[in-house]
Structure 1
Amino acid sequence: MADTRAAHGAAGRAAGHHGKCSSHAAAPRDKSPPAEPPPPLEPYPLPTFHEEGFTEKFLRKTRENPLVPLGCLCTVGILAYGIICFKKGNTRRSQLMMRARVIAQGFTFAALLGGMVATAVKSRQ
């Protein structure tokens, strides 16, 4: 491999190529005056936002996606009923309620994802 490079190097030197490419030669620089900075932008007043409390934010989010709080309430209700059935010794119904709770949690999660997708699509329009 060293012989190949040496042969190519010798052929290049024989053809007048000294390892410096003429296309990369430094072009003479134009001596134009430096550009002036752009004019300053007009100041815009900063927007003011209403500080939203917990209750206001909760109500706004509930109006935007009412299925999430509904799913949470169903999940808690099913969980509470399942625990009551377990304490009373009704293990069959308690087991059924725990399975129903998992389904309710899945519904809540799907509603949450659906709301996020809907919000993202609405914000792009």
Structure 2
Amino acid sequence: MAAATTPAAPEQPPKAPPAGAVPFDFSQPPVIEGFTPMQRMKDETFKEKFIRKTKDNPFVPLGCLGTAGALMYGLRAFHQGKTRQSQMLMRGRIFAQGFTVVAIIVGVFTTALKPKQ
């Protein structure tokens, strides 16, 4: 019994892009089927972003300033030999850091619960 075989077509390697051609255009976002990227409203400077974020959650910058202030005054008191005052200011710094962390967490939850525009 002879089985009929059909000759297999030889596999061709994938075509390489022509010499000098760039396979991707890095100046444009990639095209993904079924995905439409949101357009950015506008590029904002550091100052504009800082002001916007401070208006959204004003307690974070206050906590950061309190932490830095307690640290600076505590180090100054330590340098001057006022150990009791230095110890109290370092405890105040820990309190200010905790306040800042709580403010960040509350801000994240508030932003997550805010409806999308």
Give the TM-score band, short-chain normalised.
0.5 to 0.7
Amino acid at match of 1:93: Q
Displacement after TM superposition at 1:93 (Å): 0.8
Partner of 2:106 in structure 1? 114
Partner of 1:40 in structure 2? none
Amino acid at match of 1:56: E
- TM-score w.r.t. the length of structure 2 is 0.64
- TM-score w.r.t. the length of structure 1 is 0.60
Partner of 2:74 in structure 1? 82
Which aligned runs of 4 or more in structure 1 are off by greater than 6 angstroms?
Answer: none
Match of 1:91 among 83, 88, 91: 83
Larger Rg: 1
Q: Which runs of 5+ in 1 are unaligned?
A: 1-43
**Taking every aligned residue pair, what percent have the same amino acid on both sides?**
51
Higher helix proportion: 1
Distance 2:68 2:54 in 1: 17
Displacement after TM superposition at 1:48 (Å): 4.7
Question: How big is the alpha-carbon RMSD for the aligned residues of Structure 1 and Structure 2?
Answer: 1.9
Q: Which runs of 5+ in 2 are unaligned?
A: 1-35
Partner of 1:71 in structure 2? 63
Displacement after TM superposition at 1:92 (Å): 1.0
Residue 100 in structure 1 maps to residue 100 in structure 2:
no
